[in-house]
Amino acid sequence: MTPLALALAVTALVACGNGEPAATSGTTPATSTEATTPPESSTPAAPSSSAPPPPSSSSEQPPPPAKGKVVVLDPGHNGGNSKNPAVINKPVPAGRGKGKPCNTTGTQTNAGYTEHAFTWDVANRVKNMLTAKGVRVELTRPSDTGVGPCVNERAEIGNRANADAVVSIHSDGSTTAGHHGFHIIYSNPPLNPAQGTPSAKLAGAVRDAMRDGGIPLSNYTGKAGLNGRDDIAGLNLSTRPAIMVECANMRDATEAALAASPEGRQKYAGAIAEGLLRYLA
């Protein structure tokens, strides 16, 4: 592929099916940045020791403050990625002996509202809510105008912080008519103890809070809003309890309108924060 063709391939907006570029063997970069969610039938079955709990009752009492806890929020992609193909196509480790390009540009609504702007806004709203409850929150990027960081570095930020929970915030971009709803990805099979029961519980807590908040479960991937995957670098490389939340399908007209509105982003953020507080409690 010529340099110009490579640049065009990378700068094209991609669906955020897994929040990351497709995995490759070794550290060879993928030839395309297109990332799609695998069909449900390809999702590995979770081992009994790490299976997320079934949906709980919505009658739970509000969780108490979580002073002293540490949460790392990872807003997917970045605003400068599309103009820096050489940087985001750089090969990096992705776990399980595979590699991926550093990052991708993410998806957008049909009206042009970008995933990177959505995730940045939602992450900051979650941060404000958690900080008010005494949680120390770190973000994996300081703005929505930079490049990267690479998926392996995002995982390392959570590891270095010794985070009690790591949540990567994304949105999907399925162009299939009727696809809508959120799903939560967790590492499966787990590669270390933190990716087992703790990550499964985190996934279940956030799933329940989002469902209780009136956000529909995905009708096109995963099972009951949960999706065990072995190809997400940020989850594979984490030594802390970690999940990825695909909040909505930005190509669905209803969810695109919700994601593009401050009220909608507050709804997503409030549900994610509630789930984290339930887990930390």
Question: Using one digit for the tens of pLDDT, what is the confidence trace for 26-73?
Answer: 433 333 232 333 333 333 333 334 455 554 444 456 566 667 899 999
Among 246, 255, 263, 274, which one carries the catalytic annotation?
246
Instruction: State the pLDDT at residue 6.
Output: 39
Instruction: State the pLDDT at residue 45.
Output: 37
DSSP for residue 221: S
Separation between Cα atoms, residue 185 and residue 39, nearest integer Å: 13
Q: Are 92 and 100 in contact (CB under 8 A)?
A: yes
246 is catalytic: yes
Instruction: State the pLDDT at residue 28.
Output: 34
Instruction: State the pLDDT at residue 5.
Output: 42
Measuring CA to CA, how many Å separate 51 from each of 56, 187, 189, 197, 229?
A: 14, 11, 10, 7, 12
Radius of gyration for the alpha carbons in the chain, expressed in angstroms and rounded: 17
Instruction: State the pLDDT at residue 23.
Output: 53
Q: Are 244 and 228 in contact (CB under 8 A)?
A: no
Instruction: State the pLDDT at residue 63.
Output: 65
* Look-up of token digits 């279940």: 204
Q: Which residues pair with 186 in a beta bridge?
A: 228
Q: Helix 262-280 and helix 115-132: axis angle, to 10°?
A: 50
3-class secondary-structure state, position 60: coil
Residues of the chain under the 50 pLDDT cut: 1-15, 24-50, 55-59
Q: Determine how β-strand 136-139 pairs with β-strand 70-75.
A: parallel
| pTM for this entry | 0.83
Instruction: State the pLDDT at residue 36.
Output: 33
Q: Are 29 and 97 in contact (CB under 8 A)?
A: no
Instruction: State the pLDDT at residue 8.
Output: 36
Q: In what order do the strands lie in the sheet with 24-25?
A: 24-25, 98-101, 91-95
